[in-house]
Chains A and B, each alone.
Chain A
Amino acid sequence: MISLDKLNKIREEKKKELELRKNINTPTKEKHILVCEGTGCTSSKSPQILENFKNIIKEKNLQNVRVIKTGCFGLCAKGPIVIIRPEDTFYAMVKPEDCKEIIESHIMKGIVVERLLCKDIDGTKVQKLDDLTFYKKQKRIALKNCGMINPEDIEEYIAFDGYRALARVLLEMSQDEIINIITKSGLRGRGGAGFPTGKKWSLTKEAKGDEKYVVCNADEGDPGAFMDRSILEGDPQSILEAMEIAGYAIGAKKGFIYVRAEYPIAVQRLKIAIKQAKEYGLLGENILGTKFSFDIEIRLGAGAFVCGEETALLESIEGKRGQPRVKPPYPAQCGLWGKPTLINNVETYANITQIILKGAEWFSSIGTENSKGTKVFALGGNVNNVGLVEVPMGTTLREIVYDIGGGIPNKREFKAAQTGGPSGGCIPKEHLDTPIDYESLKEIGSMMGSGGLIVMDDTKCMVCLAKFYLQFTVSESCGKCTPCRIGTKRMLEILEKLCSGEGEEYDIYKLEKLAVNIKNSSICGLGQSAPNPVISTLKYFRDEFRQHAIEKECKAMECKALAKIQIDEEKCKGCGLCQKSCPVGAIQGEGREKRIIDQDKCIKCGTCIKTCPFHAIG
């Protein structure tokens, strides 16, 4: 068992040691080389980079240099990322063979390796992380420790205010006081629906039951979303601490983290975190000498998207087939094994300790009227800075896409962005300046969702987009209720028909009829939101659907069966390169004649488009 004094002592000692991580002006000879070992950087060899650094340091017998593995820095597009502290130098796309140069030049001589610096949107090379536009508009609460600490070292977490919030609630606060703070902070569920977190805690606390449970939903499944994964990989202790606070607040002694088995790094770090927390007496019996005991177990998901739905998740923890239950009753009344259960997602928990330490007023001062705090988005698609961003609620889509995301690559136009993954909807150009929060997104036909944000440029066909998401929901439907099981399949079939040129106008009516009724009558959130991508694309891009159905045309040329490849007479110089590249001999013309495509022969492979030096084909 650890006492408060002991905890504080560890913190003070470690804090001094890690001062240089936070403060650029720390007077020290020491250098910390932080290497991102999130999933993204790991897949591009960051463990090898870490290993190389260690070996070189050992070889050269360098003192005062430490190599630390961290979680995700966010700018995944530029990974693997290495940061040198205290000076905060940001190296991007580092290769294992670059380590030697970094050590010899930067560490040993103090000369920054220019070629490895990150280019900002305007093309200038930026030295420090904080100077990157990508980071300027961000505000990091949930991701506070990601990239700052070694997620596998509890003492680093403690040094960065870890377990201060738990100590405060256990020693100074009543259950109601905690719930009050959370309620007042205005924190809402970050899993998608945005239910007020304080209210959820209060309902679970008030529910009658001899036993209660705290569950962390880490079954992040939206395509392209990796917010929760990054938090678990970068700052696992913060989730344990928040779950303990929740357990104390609602009167539970047991917690479960339901995490995807496809997140091996997150799972491994969670395991280490739980083990260390137990060793330090910060998890288990009589925590900090109080009467409060709490235990956390990990449960691995088997890859079903629907298990992110809270009741299906509970079924899965109970060892049953992952299928949702009809609500009400809600988990707060009747959850795991019929007991009152509090279930929040990772990002929601990641805000808790900060709210306890800095107060409800601080938190509620960030964001919009009804959506407080920040939101983490996994920014992906046709955007320059693919990665993880945390912004205050109320930030506009334009700021995220153009300022933080660095705009659209290849000088293409923004067409739409999809938020909320397969449950959300698309946001067209005209809403680029909408401040993003729970309500505004709903109003324009999308939803916050868990935080996936996919940007699409003008080469994207919106019927295809709807088809893509429907493909996802069809394969992820659990098959329990009729509308979702058969209805989404029928919607997908209609979309496939439209994309293959076999659609008709009536199909659009059928799509809408199915969409409305599936939305209204499915059991769970998956089915109820599955038609959203269709509903929102129909709302903003109805003409595109009609073009597919009636004119049999896909202007974005993504639907091969509908694409008409033509040669612009004015631009064609008659060079004949296209003719040579065409695999089926569909291009006619001789000498310097302008070329013509025989539409009957053309297989729409697009080779000629790429070949034409004059951009005359499209």
Chain B
Amino acid sequence: MVNLKIDDKKVVVPEGTTILEAAKQAGIDIPTLCFLKDINEVGDCRMCIVEVEGRRGFATSCIQTVEEGMVVHTHTQNVLEARHVILDLIISNHAKDCLTCTRSGNCELQDLAIKFNVLDNEFVGEKSEHKIDDKSPSIVRDFNKCILCRRCVATCKNVQQIGAIDCINRGFDSCISTTYDHSLNDVDCTFCGQCIESCPTGALHEKENINDVWAKLKDPDAYVIVQTAPSVRVALGEEFGMEIGTNVTGKMVSALKRLGFDKVFDTNTGADFTIMEEATEFVKRLRNKDNLPMTTSCCPAWVKYVEMFYPENIKHLSSCKSPHQMLGAIIKSYFAEKNNIDPKNIYVVSVMPCIAKKYERQRKEMNVDGINDVDIVITTRELARMIKQANIDFTMLEDEVFDNPMGEATGAGAIFGTTGGVMEAALRAAYEIITGESLKDVVFEKVRGEKGIKKAEIDLGKEKIKVAVAHGLGNAKKIMEDIKNGKSDYQFVEVMACPGGCIMGGGQPIKSSKIRMNVDVRRKRAEAMYSIDEKSTIRKSQDNPVLKQIYKEYIGKPGEEKAHRLLHTHYGKKTKYQIF
């Protein structure tokens, strides 16, 4: 243990603790901007500087570690002036359009500017000018708001291990860019959106589709159906000041109905369909030893990753569409027929925790007979904005329930949004398909939790299978390399591109660096999700009465011809860079 003094407070912390962390433990807040715990600890912005007695210049508290007997002062006049100047400088090269910025109110730069009272920009001068990149269906990059903290770069390079973006040019001309300065649309970006979650300002955000939805809601000829992903309900409340990890399913449904959607369906039901199809496919492939391991395909960023980086492994992907695509296909076929609506008039809106879904829905493979499964995707954040625009007092809403028939879902569908959830749900089904017996204990603890790669041997009655669950593309890469090199002995692999799974997706409410330092956001959202499963009366997809009905009445058996036409798809090799 190391003894030191911070602002006259005695602090005892383990060796290797940073000054910032030690100060936090002593209840002393040091401002940061480029710091993102465990991801970007580089000391670029210089906001976290402090004075250490006996040391020349300032210390960088976010990376420099404590030393025995150290005496630290976190807010001397010198430090405060330096921080003020640094903030002033950052703001002098910033767009300063807070009034119309999507991050206004949740911007770390804005927070500091208010805190430090940078009212009068003292050091004005030339501003760097950048063209806004909005070519991709998922991400908009506006570098006029970038403060070069490089949190996005570290996330992409170190966590996701893609490295689609990095710093180019030097000095004042430095900016974050891509290979050959192409649009993010034309490089090896997977659209996972983790960079957006890391960005302290409004330099990165989703391609907003709110106005498309409003337009359809106004259109009397459009039959507008909304569906919401499992993860949206455990995070949406945060946008209205509710505690992280609050389940707001009822209020969310209520708000969607007030917004004027004709039907409010649950993507969890789609997830149940996915499980039926995926478990069936898995059992078949296991029996035929067909391209094992089979890997999940619910995550569009993951699918794009495989297509770009491991095209030789595409055959390992399940042919199942993702839950919202499946539900969209069923809405535009079964539901349309049943209710005598022309599917061309149905407009399916998916509310997703994800920006890659915006890309996924417009893929050419994602339709049935030329009719798109899903017409538009908005994120959790966009839905919150719509609710605010409609002046709905979200926290005061009474709970309401999803519309039938696609509002009935099981606990298995509910846990789809957290790492290990798809695997667990699939195992609950696969067990019964293989053994023909009823599964008593539905919890597969080994595939839960925060570990980057979870490996387990699962007893499926007659046989044991090896499974792996990876979240974060950096972890997925390890598994992919094993498969590529013939070192993998798994039969079933689940991958979610975002660390933590969809609950931490690129479309979820953005948490500041300070919150991420103090609260385990992933765990809280995951707990909320598992608690939905626990409280469900039905916890296996195959027991969902709606599914049984629709299979019986319309689709036939899982994995058979009509199921394939509606619910399955295919993938193909993608080039990493478009060469112009």
Question: Is B43 an interface position by the 8 A CB rule?
Answer: yes
Stretch from A374-382, A442-450, A518-526, A557-565 at the B interface: A518-526
| A304 within 8 A of partner (CB) | yes
Q: How distant is the Cα of A522 from the Cα of B170 in the complex, in angstroms?
A: 16
Name the residue of chain A whose CB is nearest to the CB of B170: A479
Output the least CB separation between A467 and chain B (Å).
14
The smallest beta-carbon distance between B507 and chain A, in angstroms, is 30
Are A477 and B60 interface neighbours, CB within 8 A?
no
| CB-contact partner of A326 in B60, B90, B93, B171, under 8 A | B60
Q: How many Å from the CB of A474 to the closest CB on chain B?
A: 6
Stretch binding the partner chain, chosen from B77-85, B217-225, B383-391: B77-85
Interface residues in B42-76 (C-beta closer than 8 Å to A): 42-46, 49, 57-58, 60, 63-64
A147, B58: Cα distance in complex, Å: 45
Please state if B57 and A528 are interface contacts (CB–CB under 8 Å): yes
A482 in the interface, Cβ–Cβ < 8 Å? yes
Are B82 and A521 touching (Cβ within 8 A)?
Answer: yes
- Is A27's CB within 8 Å of the partner chain B? no
- Could you mark each residue 375-395 of chain B with 1 if its beta carbon is under 8 Å from any beta carbon of chain A, else 0? 000000000000000000000
Query: What residues of B have a CB within 8 angstroms of the CB of A477 in the complex?
Result: 170-172
User: Whole-angstrom distance from the CB of A381 to the nearest CB of chain B?
Assistant: 26
Check if B170 sits within 8 Å of A326, measured CB to CB: no
User: In the docked arrangement, what's the CA distance between A490 and B85, Å?
Assistant: 11
Chain B residue at minimum C-beta to C-beta distance from A527 = B46
Q: Which residues of A contact B172 (CB under 8 A)?
A: 474, 477, 479, 485-486, 489
Q: Which residues of B lie under 8 Å from residue A488 when comparing CB positions? A: 171
Is B173 an interface residue, CB under 8 A from the partner? yes
A478 touches B89 (CB 8 A): no
Q: Assess the A482–B89 pair: CB atoms within 8 A.
A: yes
User: Does B169 belong to the interface (CB within 8 Å)?
Assistant: yes
Comparing B121-129, B274-282, B309-317, B457-465, the segment that makes contact with chain A is: B121-129
- Chain B interface size, as a band, is 20 to 34
Give 1 or 0 for each of A2-19: 1 = CB within 8 Å of chain B CB.
Answer: 000000000000000000
Q: Are B46 and A521 in contact (CB under 8 A)?
A: yes
A517 to chain B, nearest CB (A): 4
Q: Are B46 and A474 in contact (CB under 8 A)?
A: no
In the complex, are the beta carbons of A489 and B46 less than 8 A apart?
Answer: no
Q: With A and B bound together, what is the CA distance between A482 and B46 in angstroms?
A: 7
Query: How far apart are the CA atoms of A520 and B60 in the complex, in Å?
Result: 11
Say which size band chain A's interface belongs to: 20 to 34
Q: For residue A484, which residues in chain B have a CB less than 8 angstroms away from its CB?
A: 171
Whether B170 lies near A486 (C-beta < 8 A) is: no
- B-contacting residues, A477-529, CB 8 Å: 477-490, 493, 510, 513-514, 517, 520-523, 528
Does residue B435 face the partner (Cβ distance < 8 Å to A)? no
B28 at the interface (CB under 8 A from A): no
For residue A319, CB closer than 8 A to chain B, the reply is no
Report the Cα distance A480→B44, complex, angstroms. 6
| Cβ-based interface call for B1 (8 A) | no
| A326-B63 in contact (CB<8A) | yes
- Are the CB atoms of A486 and B93 closer together than 8 Å? yes
Bound-state CA distance A514–B172 (Å) is 16
Q: Do B86 and A521 touch across chains, with their CB atoms under 8 A apart?
A: yes
A510–B46 CB distance below 8 A: no
Establish whether residues B148 and A485, one from each chain, have CB atoms under 8 Å apart when the complex forms.
yes
Residues of A with C-beta under 8 A to B531: none
> With an 8 A cutoff between CB atoms, is B167 at the interface?
yes
- By the criterion CB–CB under 8 Å, are A474 and B123 in contact? no
Q: Please tell me if the beta carbons of B45 and A493 are within 8 angstroms of each other in the complex.
A: no
Contacts A326-B63, A479-B148 given; does A489 touch B42 at CB 8 Å: no
Q: Which residues of A contact B93 (CB under 8 A)?
A: 486
- Between B63, B85, B122, the greatest number of chain A beta carbons within 10 A of the residue's beta carbon is seen for B85
Give the total number of A-B pairs whose CB atoms are below 8 A apart: 101
Question: Do residues B125 and A520 form an inter-chain contact, with CB atoms below 8 A?
Answer: no
- Check A510 against B123 for contact (C-beta < 8 Å): yes
Q: Is B291 an interface residue (CB 8 A)?
A: no
Task: Report the nearest A residue to B33, measured CB to CB.
Answer: A482
Q: How far is the CB of A399 from chain B (nearest CB, A)?
A: 32
B527 lies within 8 A of chain A by Cβ: no
Q: Which residues of B contact A136 (CB under 8 A)?
A: none
B85:A479 contact, CB within 8 angstroms: no
**A328 contacts partner chain B, Cβ-Cβ < 8 Å:** yes
Closest to A475 in B: B171
**A321, CB-defined interface residue at 8 Å:** yes
Contact check, B44 vs A482: say whether CB atoms are below 8 A apart: yes
Q: Contact: A476 with B58, CB < 8 Å?
A: no
CB atoms of A482 and B90 under 8 A apart:
yes
Residues of A within 8 A of B123 (CB): 486-487, 490, 510, 514
A421 to B58, CA, bound (A): 24
In-complex Cβ contact of A490 among B45, B63, B125, B169 (8 A): B125
Residues of A within 8 A of B147 (CB): 482
Contact B58 A486 (CB under 8 A): no
Give the CA-CA distance A475 to B174 in the complex, in Å.
Answer: 11
Is B166 positioned at the interface, with any CB of A under 8 Å from its CB?
yes
Q: In the complex the two chains form, is A486's CB within 8 Å of B89's CB?
A: yes
Distance (Å) between the CB of B79 and the closest chain A CB?
9
Query: Is there a chain A Cβ closer than 8 Å to B569's Cβ?
Result: no
Q: Which B162-179 residues have C-beta < 8 A from chain A?
A: 166-167, 169-174
Chain A residues with Cβ under 8 A from B90's Cβ?
A: 482, 486
**Complexed CA–CA distance, A304 and B170 (Å):** 9
Verify B171–A513 contact, CB threshold 8 A. no
A517 pairs with B166, CB closer than 8 A: no
Binary contact readout B172-192 vs A (1 if CB under 8 angstroms, 0 otherwise): 111000000000000000000
Report chain A residues within 8 Å CB of B64. 326, 328
In angstroms, Cα B171 to Cα A517, docked, is 18
Could you give, for residues 526-550 of chain A, a 1 whenever the CB lies within 8 Å of some chain B CB and a 0 otherwise? 0010000000000000000000000
Q: How far is the CB of A509 from chain B (nearest CB, A)?
A: 10
A328 proximity list for chain B (CB < 8 A): 64
In the assembled complex, B92 has its CB within 8 A of some CB on chain A: yes
CB contact between A489 and one of B85, B122, B171 (< 8 Å): that residue: B171
Please give the distance in Å from A196's CB to the nearest CB on chain B: 16
A510: B residues at CB distance < 8 A = 122-123
B63–A521 CB distance below 8 A: no
Given contacts A304-B170, A479-B173, A482-B45, whether A490 and B81 have CB atoms under 8 Å apart is no
B167 touches A479 (CB 8 A): yes
Q: How many angstroms from the CA of A321 to the CA of B167 in the assembled complex? A: 9
Nearest chain B residue, comparing its CB with the CB of A304: B170
* Set A485, A513, A514, A522: member contacting B174, Cβ < 8 A: A485
Residue-wise, chain B 119-139 has the 8 Å CB interface mask toward A (1 for contact) of 000110110000000000000
B85/A487 in contact, CB under 8 A: yes
A486 near B46 (CB under 8 angstroms)?
A: no
A520 to B58, CA, bound (A): 6
A517:B92 contact, CB within 8 angstroms: no
Look across to chain A and name the residue whose beta carbon is closest to the beta carbon of B172. Answer: A489
Provide a sorted-by-A list of 26 A–B residue pairs whose CB atoms are within 8 angstroms: A321-B166, A321-B167, A326-B43, A326-B60, A328-B64, A476-B171, A478-B170, A479-B167, A481-B45, A482-B45, A482-B86, A482-B90, A483-B89, A486-B93, A486-B123, A486-B172, A487-B85, A487-B123, A489-B172, A490-B89, A493-B125, A514-B85, A517-B81, A521-B58, A523-B43, A523-B60
Instruction: Given contact pairs A478-B174, A489-B172, A528-B57, enumerate 5 new A-B contacts (beta carbons under 8 Å).
Output: A474-B172, A489-B126, A493-B126, A521-B57, A521-B82
